[in-house]
Amino acid sequence: MNHTVKPASLAPAEAPAGHTPYSDWLQTELLHSLQHPVSAHPGEHAWIVSAQVSELYWMLIIREIQAAQAQLRADDLAGACRTLRRVVAHHEPLNATWRSIAWMTPVDLLAILSCVGPKYGKDTALQGWTFRQMVYLLGIKQGEHLQHFLPQPHRWQQLSKALAEPSLYDDVLAHLSRQGFAVPAPALDRDFSMPYTPDQAVEKVWRDVYADPDQHRELQQLGETLADIAEGFCAWKHLHLMATRRTFGARPAYFGTEGIAWLLPTMNEIPFPELWSARGFIGDAPAVCPHARGQQGGREMGRRD
């Protein structure tokens, strides 16, 4: 059968009246109508654009993670790694959005918020459903945040579903189990809506994956890609914390809690926990390692005492 495309089929479609093909495809007219500052401060437009760009990247990351989960469930490890590498790439411009508003001082931010509050009500970043879904997919399951989405029943339902379903890490562990690694049953058959509890047996699985650089190379690449994703995510959180320090200080923020005090504990919420804790056991420390000498010296001193 001849599958040659006829030249006539390559003729460009006509854009609707008032559009070019570019503006029609990318919906630029709509896109540039979505910023509605309520103050006269020049920083508000930068703030809105920065936040909207972040929203778009979070949704892009969500789609990529969901695609990678489907590939892992089909044991398409190579495909999943390619997809997850794109998540690593997406974090670069996402994290760079903070630079657009890094120049702002508390005077700038408060001038904006003093106008936003009367117009839209008290704002909290915890009401961002795209960020929350991404966090759930990364395995940080905190059901208490669902309360913020009660005014949006369809988003509450969407996030409740994401909370109850396996995260990316759950699918990684299930894939490792199907490849013959001794992933413990409690890590596989559990209530996915509950926070994940690290397990030393899972830590050993990662140690085994990395034990020989010439074995399990694709799984090692998966591990390193997950590590890159976690770093990108944690870098965004650090930038958020520093922006809060810079523009808001120690003022009460989320439900009367100081914003910095609220954000600081989240720095310890690192995805894929055993992938990180296993690093202390991967590889054999050389005899000349100064840490090994220090440990030996301590033992010898203990004997002299």
At residue 293, the pLDDT reads 53
Query: Structure tokens of 210?
Result: 């990395």
- Report the distance separating Cα 267 and Cα 209, nearest Å: 27
* pLDDT tens profile 79-132: 999 999 999 999 999 999 999 999 999 999 999 988 988 888 776 666 789 999
Query: Structure tokens of 229?
Result: 């994703």
User: Residues 124, 43: contact at Cβ < 8 Å?
Assistant: no
**Strand-pair partners of 252:** 258
Residue 261 lies in a domain: yes
* pLDDT tens profile 52-63: 999 999 999 999
Residue 24 lies in a domain: no
Residue 76 vs residues 114, 222, 237, 289: alpha-carbon distances, Å: 51, 12, 31, 39
- If pLDDT is split at 50, 70 and 90, which confidence band does 154 have? very high
At residue 227, the pLDDT reads 98
**Strand-pair partners of 258:** 252
Give residue 49's domain range.
42-281
User: Residues 260, 244: contact at Cβ < 8 Å?
Assistant: yes
| Secondary structure in 3-state letters for 230-251 | HHHHHHHHHHHHHHHHHHCCCC
3-state secondary structure (DSSP) of residue 223? helix
- Report the distance separating Cα 193 and Cα 191, nearest Å: 5
Residue 255 region by backbone torsions, left for phi larger than 0, else alpha for psi between -120 and 50, else beta: left
Name the average pLDDT for the chain: 89
Could you tell me the CATH number of the domain that includes residue 183?
Answer: 1.20.58.480
- If pLDDT is split at 50, 70 and 90, which confidence band does 285 have? confident
Q: How many independent structural domains does the chain possess?
A: 1
Residue 228 lies in a domain: yes
User: What is the reported pTM?
Assistant: 0.87
52, exposed or middle or buried, with CB in 10 Å at 0-12, 13-18, 19+? middle
Residue 167 lies in a domain: yes
User: Residues 117, 259: contact at Cβ < 8 Å?
Assistant: no
Query: Structure tokens of 21?
Result: 């093909």
Q: What are phi and psi of 252, to 5 degrees?
A: -60, 140
User: Residues 123, 259: contact at Cβ < 8 Å?
Assistant: no
Residue 25 lies in a domain: no
Residue 7 lies in a domain: no
Chain centroid to Cα 286, Å, comes to 35
Q: Which of 210, 146, 195, 199 is nearest to 173 (CA)?
A: 199
Residue 259 lies in a domain: yes
User: What is the number of residues in the chain?
Assistant: 305
Residue 134 lies in a domain: yes
User: Residues 209, 181: contact at Cβ < 8 Å?
Assistant: yes
The angle at the Cα of 58, spanning 266 to 96, to the nearest 5 degrees, equals: 80
Q: Which of 98, 71, 96 is nearest to 85 (CA)?
A: 71
